[in-house]
Structure 1
Amino acid sequence: MEKHFLLSISLVFSFTLFHLSLASIGVTFDGSECWGYVEVRPKAHLFWWLYKSPYRVEDPSKPWPTVLWLQGGPGGSGVAFGNFLEIGPLDSNLKPRNSTWLHKADLLFVDSPVASGFSYVEDQTLVVRTDEEAATDLTTLLKELFNGNGTLQKSPLYIFAESYGGKFAVTLGISAFKAIEAGELKLQLGGVALGDSWISPEDFVFSWGPLLKDLSRMSSNGLNISNSLALKIQQQLAEGEYENATSTWSELENAILAYSNNVDFYNFMLDFDNDPVVGISKQRSKGHSRDRYSRYLEARYYRSPRARNLYGLMNGPIRKKLKIIPKNVTWGGQSGLVFQALLGDFMKPRIQEVDELLAKGIRVIIYNGQLDLICSTKGAEAWLNKLKWDGLKNFLSVDPTPLYCKGDNTTTKGFTSSYKNLSFYWILGAGHFVPVEQPCISLQMVGNVTQSPNNS
């Protein structure tokens, strides 16, 4: 780990954040990284970590962008999972990642909502209970980071999200835009990118049975049972019984597992039993555990004998490097608290927020892994067709353009369609975790979305 020291952040990235105390800020010796806490509400603290790209290209016509990464779960740690397992400069063995998104942008990771990862609350009643509350906290954090920083203000911010993080992303997009309009936030909002995002739970649960039936993974009996439970969820949502809908969602996932011989929710080409996290028969009855998203990502893609345990990494070398983590805060032990608090919001759709972003002229990018089940492309296309945006008909009439990578025009890696401020990327060969499973085309997509000066 490189040497670092604590100092006023005004010396790094030209920051002049007068509201942040020295005790809440850390910076690497060379100024390439900084991190800290923002008390977004009394006794509620969000942890953030910002990387300055070594590949930065200075181009006045194309300002260097910043990507804010929002993890799913809800309750997954962006500072750990998005950073060390997906797109950050180092992997979980602290080895350089060739496909880091730093090639295209500076990276800002946040452990959000409060009580995720290194973020914490001093009173458990302060954990957010809605997506909007999480967005308000994030907007407060952005005000602290951007308002006193002329360098950041020149860098367009792109909010990239994964899984449940997409619901946070669209609510943050609306909240940040309103704060910008009101003169409360000095920030250029470049766009909102939704990766395999849980935008419309109803559309996703209706997609599961038919998709698996088409894949020869489920019988007609299983299809009927899954469709029946999806209809029950639809009725509960219509009646505002959101917590009951979350309970039925769990019941439906158990049924999907039972009637598909344990398909993998994050990649329908695989078996749930092959999942190194939950793949033992004694745990089948427990269903698709609610905090499994983040643990799955760690175990599925970093299960080699040499892979460092992420819990040990975050509470060992990383904690030692950061220095500012309170003694009573342990990484990784709080995501269940976040999920429990959001039970009433978990199944609520956020299609209306996507419509609002589009109507305001904000760029919206949707990208989806071909092999994902839980946030299937079939479900994403279903909620996309529910948009009331006046450009939808024209968007749907556009023929997708094939995508290739590294000059290989013989292997199709995906497709993309765009009209005005809406884009969709279909990523072939990827499941739920697109940056991990298709890193090359993901990096190319980020460059296209952000119009990075380093888009070679």
Structure 2
Amino acid sequence: MDRPCCPLALLPLLPLLLCLASLRAGSAASITTGTPDGSERWGYVEVRPKAHLFWWYYKSPQRTSSPAKPWPTVLWLQGGPGASGVGLGNFLEVGPLDVNLKPRNSTWLQKADLIFVDNPVGVGYSYVEDDTLLVTTDWQQAADATTLLKALVKEVPTLQSSPLFLVAESYGGKYAATLGASVARAVRAGELKVNLAGVALGDSWISPEDFTLSYTPLLLSVSRLDDNAGDEANKKAENVKRQITGGQFADAQRSWTDLLDIIGTRSGNVDMYNFLLDSGMDPVSADTPTVSSPSNVQALRYATYLGSQDSDSNTIDSIMNGVIKEKLRIVPKDLKWVEVSQAVYNTLVNDFMKPRIDEIDELLSYGINVTVYNGQLDVICSTNGAEAWVQKLKWDGLKSFLSLPRQSLYCGQSKGTKAFVRSYKNLHFYWILGAGHFVPADQPCIALSMIGSITQSPAS
């Protein structure tokens, strides 16, 4: 598709339809607006008093739907924690336009409708009127996002009938695990009418312990560490494991950050999001000496790899605080968009290192499709670590899943294997070759093909 997004072009700005939704007893206040043709809608939902989540919906130009093959909707959840899905996932990964506001040939709109949300409150265009309202746990995030969905089924009419897929990246996987469980419970209780069809976890921080223990053997195997450095890193990783086991989650995060510093020093500053790169090759690394703590350095580095996708013409920061903010019209004038909110990152310190394997088991037990996909070159959420936590599932189909051979996947006109997949019942695992932490940015062709398969899109 040469121009998948022409009705969504940003300039000249289309006149907006502004509608203030009426306040309903027991429901969140919302402000919704969009384009006259209905191809885009966006707005704020006050999920708690003085806590506002921003969302942006895109209707696919290819949308066709039938009772036998309903058109799917993807809700994208960014990681960080504290990174903006409305900015990064949208303009740098899978949305209709790239950072130069040109149509993206690999947009996931070709396979599904898309909803981006700046989640949790305090991220991107989302905001709180009092910093004490920032979430401190993944489950508080899930409660807010469930409230958002209860509002969105009224604002986006197709959402009640469209199969909904929560697609996550990095720390967003922990959001997806808890939100998925929260939504499934709300649906089962009759409190929410959506069809939660699947949860997809891209390079997701589901088990911090398993990922931490994977760093040394992976980096040894690709020659980014030697045995001496490996011994030092292993001791620190084992300490992280002990602290997690003992419930000392804030201490575990500090030790994990120390481990990343050791790895950086002894590996020639390997990029933890792609072991073929050095972190110094990315523009964000130039900013890190000015921040106040190691954890803030790590928060900034999350956006490093995607930040390198910025062109000479535009940066993500310039468009989000410029033309996009002007287009949306409803973002508070004094709100400055940033790639990663350090405040949100820091408030999750006691939850950061907690695993979410039990929530994945819960989703599988409900019969909800769970997909794990991982980039081959990622370190911070390595494929080895993802394989390790999957083997800890209590799901009754696990043994059969692990016994199956993988299938090779190909894409487009290029030769060679692009990925592998293994599926059994409602668990699926994709190994994406040649990709780091940000799979859609690194391997857009196979990522688009994969999302079509995950959602069973009529466009596939």
Counterpart residue number, 2:300: 292
Counterpart residue number, 1:403: 409
Question: Take 1:120 and 1:179, find their aligned partners in 2: how far apart are those partners?
Answer: 25
Question: Take 2:380 and 2:229, find their aligned partners in 1: how far apart are those partners?
Answer: 17
Counterpart residue number, 2:448: 443
Q: Does 1:343 align with 2:373?
A: no
Query: For 1:236, what is the secondary structure of its paired residue?
Result: helix
Q: Does 1:105 align with 2:105?
A: no
Counterpart residue number, 2:163: 156
- Stretch moving more, 215-224 or 176-185: 215-224
| 1:135-174 → structure 2 map (5 Å cutoff) | 135-147=142-154, 150-174=157-181
Counterpart residue number, 2:15: 4
Query: For 1:366, what is the secondary structure of its paired residue?
Result: strand
What do residues 138-193 of structure 1 show as CA deviations (whole Å, max 9, x unaligned)? 00000011157552211010000000000000000000000001111010001000
Counterpart residue number, 1:271: 278
Question: Take 2:209 and 2:159, find their aligned partners in 1: how far apart are those partners?
Answer: 38
Question: Take 1:295 and 1:390, find their aligned partners in 2: how far apart are those partners?
Answer: 37
Counterpart residue number, 2:250: 243
1:6 shift after superposition = 2.6
What do residues 335-354 of structure 1 show as CA deviations (whole Å, max 9, x unaligned)? 11101100111011111111
Query: For 1:161, what is the secondary structure of its paired residue?
Result: strand
Question: Take 2:291 and 2:405, find their aligned partners in 1: how far apart are those partners?
Answer: 42
Counterpart residue number, 2:200: 193
Query: For 1:186, what is the secondary structure of its paired residue?
Result: coil
Counterpart residue number, 1:329: 335
Query: For 1:364, what is the secondary structure of its paired residue?
Result: strand
Q: Does 1:431 align with 2:436?
A: yes
Q: Does 1:46 align with 2:46?
A: no
Counterpart residue number, 2:381: 375
Counterpart residue number, 1:319: 325
Q: Tell me which of 84, 93, 98 is aligned to 1:91.
A: 98
1:373 shift after superposition = 0.5
| 1:348-363 → structure 2 map (5 Å cutoff) | 348-363=354-369
Q: Does 1:175 align with 2:186?
A: no
CA contact (8 A) 1:26 1:36 kept: yes
Question: Take 2:256 and 2:365, find their aligned partners in 1: how far apart are those partners?
Answer: 31
Query: For 1:277, what is the secondary structure of its paired residue?
Result: helix
Question: Take 1:354 and 1:271, find their aligned partners in 2: how far apart are those partners?
Answer: 33
Counterpart residue number, 1:13: none
Question: Take 1:443 and 1:281, find their aligned partners in 2: how far apart are those partners?
Answer: 33
Question: Take 1:241 and 1:317, find their aligned partners in 2: how far apart are those partners?
Answer: 44
- Stretch moving more, 149-158 or 171-180: 149-158
- Stretch moving more, 247-256 or 351-360: 351-360
CA contact (8 A) 2:106 2:445 kept: yes
- Pair 362,94 (structure 1): closer, same or farther in 2 beyond 3 Å: same
1:26 shift after superposition = 1.5
What do residues 69-111 of structure 1 show as CA deviations (whole Å, max 9, x unaligned)? 0000000000000001100000111000000000000000000
CA contact (8 A) 1:230 1:252 kept: yes
Letter in 2 for 1:299: G
Query: For 2:18, what is the secondary structure of its paired residue?
Result: coil
Letter in 2 for 1:353: E
- Stretch moving more, 292-301 or 266-275: 292-301
CA contact (8 A) 2:197 2:369 kept: yes
CA contact (8 A) 2:111 2:457 kept: yes
Letter in 1 for 2:367: G
Q: Does 1:77 align with 2:88?
A: no
1:327 shift after superposition = 2.4
CA contact (8 A) 2:303 2:340 kept: no
Query: For 1:68, what is the secondary structure of its paired residue?
Result: strand
Counterpart residue number, 2:390: 384
TM-score, scaled relative to structure 2: 0.93
CA contact (8 A) 1:72 1:293 kept: no
RMSD after superposition: 2.1
Question: Take 1:235 and 1:437, find their aligned partners in 2: how far apart are those partners?
Answer: 35
- Stretch moving more, 308-317 or 156-165: 308-317
What do residues 393-450 of structure 1 show as CA deviations (whole Å, max 9, x unaligned)? 0000110000001255x41000000000000000000000000000000000000000
Letter in 2 for 1:292: L
Letter in 2 for 1:368: N
1:21 shift after superposition = 6.1
Question: Take 1:154 and 1:80, find their aligned partners in 2: how far apart are those partners?
Answer: 27
Question: Take 1:284 and 1:146, find their aligned partners in 2: how far apart are those partners?
Answer: 41
- Stretch moving more, 396-405 or 288-297: 288-297
CA contact (8 A) 1:273 1:280 kept: no
CA contact (8 A) 1:253 1:287 kept: no
Q: Does 1:261 align with 2:268?
A: yes
Give the unaligned 5+ runs of structure 2.
1-9
- Pair 286,269 (structure 1): closer, same or farther in 2 beyond 3 Å: farther
- Pair 148,401 (structure 1): closer, same or farther in 2 beyond 3 Å: same
Question: Take 1:56 and 1:9, find their aligned partners in 2: how far apart are those partners?
Answer: 27
CA contact (8 A) 1:415 1:425 kept: yes
Question: Take 1:327 and 1:280, find their aligned partners in 2: how far apart are those partners?
Answer: 25
1:281 shift after superposition = 10
Question: Take 1:123 and 1:281, find their aligned partners in 2: how far apart are those partners?
Answer: 27
Task: Give the total of aligned pairs.
Answer: 446
TM-score, scaled relative to structure 1: 0.94
Q: Does 1:25 align with 2:32?
A: yes
Query: For 1:354, what is the secondary structure of its paired residue?
Result: helix
Letter in 1 for 2:337: W
Question: Take 2:97 and 2:292, find their aligned partners in 1: how far apart are those partners?
Answer: 37
Give the unaligned 5+ runs of structure 1.
11-15
